[in-house]
Amino acid sequence: MMTERKLATLLRREGYKVTPQRRAILKIVTETHDHLTPAALYERVQKAQPHIGLVTIYRTIQILEQLGLICEMHAERTSRSYLLKRASEHHHHIVCSGCGTVTDVTHCELEKLQEQLAKETGFEIDGHILEFFGYCRQCQRLKAE
């Protein structure tokens, strides 16, 4: 379980200062299960830190992503969105096109395929993104009406 506290410790360990603004961001990130756009994160963090700047959100997101603590989602077209990595290992997502709910796909069987492709194509493959789209149970019901 990733807590605000743990994330703060990780940041400090990497030489980053732990400021009230960052703490507020970490809090929201650990509490929220949906993926958040920078703007949405900003909005929520403002409740705890009304004077925080949007730039700080962007900068903190960048750090968290570099440390592999959050992952970028590729579902939304106009802006990126981010999500706390709950499973620390490599994994993927199913995103609901209706409500935005995100479910982790913990087993990833793509390493074999990746190796095979590397052989076939000569590429040195060092990563991939995989995301599924669809409708969650709830949104399926809503659609049916």
Partner DNA sequence: ATGATAATTGATAATAATTTTCATTTAACC
Partner DNA sequence: GGTTAAATGAAAATTATTATCAATTATCAT
- What residues make contact with Mn ion under the rule CB under 5 A? 104
Long-range contact set of residues 34-37: C-beta below 8 Å, sequence gap at least 24: 34/83, 34/100, 34/101, 34/102, 35/73, 35/75, 35/81, 35/82, 35/83, 35/95, 35/100, 35/102, 36/81, 36/82, 36/83, 37/76, 37/79, 37/80, 37/81, 37/82
User: Could you give the string, one character per residue 47-86, with x where binding to DNA holds by CB under 7 A and - elsewhere?
Assistant: --x-xxxxxx-xxx-x--------------xxxx------
Question: Which positions from 82 through 111 interact with Zn ion, judged by CB under 5 A?
Answer: 96, 98-99, 101
Told to check if 58 binds a second copy by CB under 8 A, we report no
Question: Which positions from 68 through 97 interact with a second copy, judged by CB under 8 A?
Answer: 74, 77, 80, 94, 96
